[in-house]
Amino acid sequence: MSTVHHELGGDGMRRSVGILLSLVLTPGVAAAQALFETGPGQSPSLNAPGWAGFNNIHFMAVSLGALLLATVLGALIGFHPKTPRTVDTLNEADMPKVYILYAFVGAVIGVTVREFGMVIGVVVFGIGGLIRFRTITDSTRDTGRLIVVTLVGLIAGLGLPHLAVITDLFAFALIWAFDSRPACSVRVDALPEGRLGECADVYRGALESGGCKIISERRTFSKRRVEFIFRLPRTGTREALHAMLCELPLEMRGDIDWEVE
């Protein structure tokens, strides 16, 4: 078995190297590599604007427009009106934010490649693959944020501080908007026998009256259980909501279990 895995791994490595070589040898990449070519006794460098880039208002406006467009287009897919019908877990409820964040990452890479050429694209994708497969994070959302901060550092190091600042501030605004209404899951077990539907309506009404946006509801009659996936209100807290649910009529209560993204 180990021999088979070794052979498969070797084939995969050879294919990866072949793809990388084909990219490097393409005319577009070869032309982009001229950015790194230097004469004898010269150190390799890029023609980066540095801090003077903040004077290039046109480039900053175009870059910001690209990031905004990518965010809007990602949101159209992430928040598709039919998506809530298929949400069964908290991770699935959080996926629209991930789509938007990755669309934003793609736009940042596109702007950087447009500015410096395809060689930078190869570097970025190499770093992204290393992060994706060699870095352990708790969620896809955390992986996306890790890629963002890596891009910010890379862009700053390439001599584009103006683009690095735009990227960082834009990502900051996205995270602020995303985390202002985090997704939660509450499961209520051991509800009164034969009253699951009535109890579920009571809990749903309590959540909605607390300012929560219900994403999905799942009822399991055999286990006398109801589970809600929802978003907290902007000014509310899970502790306050839990206290409100514990004040429901005793004959409607069950055992409450929380999960927060």
Helix axes 161-179, 57-78, angle to 10 degrees: 30
| Confidence (pLDDT) at 113 | 84
Among residues 114, 117, 90, the alpha carbon closest in space to that of 36 is found at 117
Instruction: Look at residue 170 and tell me if it is in a domain.
Output: yes
Structure tokens that stand for 21 in this block: 């070589």
Q: Is the pLDDT of residue 127 over 70?
A: no
Does residue 86 or residue 7 have the better pLDDT? Answer: 86
Q: Are residues 58 and 175 in the same domain?
A: yes
The residue out of 179, 202, 235 marking a domain boundary is 179
Q: Are residues 100 and 172 in the same domain?
A: yes
Structure tokens that stand for 46 in this block: 């890029």
Domains held by the chain: number: 2
| Confidence (pLDDT) at 109 | 87
Q: Is the pLDDT of residue 9 over 60?
A: no
| Confidence (pLDDT) at 134 | 58
Residues in Cβ contact with 24 at an 8 Å cutoff, skipping those fewer than 6 apart: 30, 33, 122
Q: Are residues 128 and 235 in the same domain?
A: no
Structure tokens that stand for 114 in this block: 């447009």
CA distances from 196 to 33, 67, 201, 226, 245 (A): 66, 47, 9, 8, 16
Q: Are residues 171 and 215 in the same domain?
A: no
Q: Which domain holds residue 205?
A: 183-260
**Which CATH number is 250's domain given?**
3.30.70.1060
Residue 1: Cβ-neighbour burial (10 angstroms; 0-12, 13-18, 19+):
exposed
Q: Are residues 143 and 234 in the same domain?
A: no
Instruction: Look at residue 195 and tell me if it is in a domain.
Output: yes
Among residues 150, 139, 128, the alpha carbon closest in space to that of 178 is found at 139
Instruction: Look at residue 165 and tell me if it is in a domain.
Output: yes
pTM of the model: 0.70
Does residue 150 or residue 167 have the better pLDDT? Answer: 167
Q: Are residues 61 and 175 in the same domain?
A: yes
CA distances from 15 to 9, 18, 133, 147 (A): 10, 5, 17, 25
Instruction: Look at residue 42 and tell me if it is in a domain.
Output: no
The residue out of 155, 179, 203 marking a domain boundary is 179
The residue out of 161, 179, 197 marking a domain boundary is 179
Determine the Cα–Cα distance for residues 128 and 148; give it in Å rounded to an integer.
10
Q: Are residues 86 and 163 in the same domain?
A: yes
Q: Which residue has the tokens 């990227």?
A: 167
Mean pLDDT estimate for the chain = 78
| Confidence (pLDDT) at 44 | 46
| Confidence (pLDDT) at 188 | 92
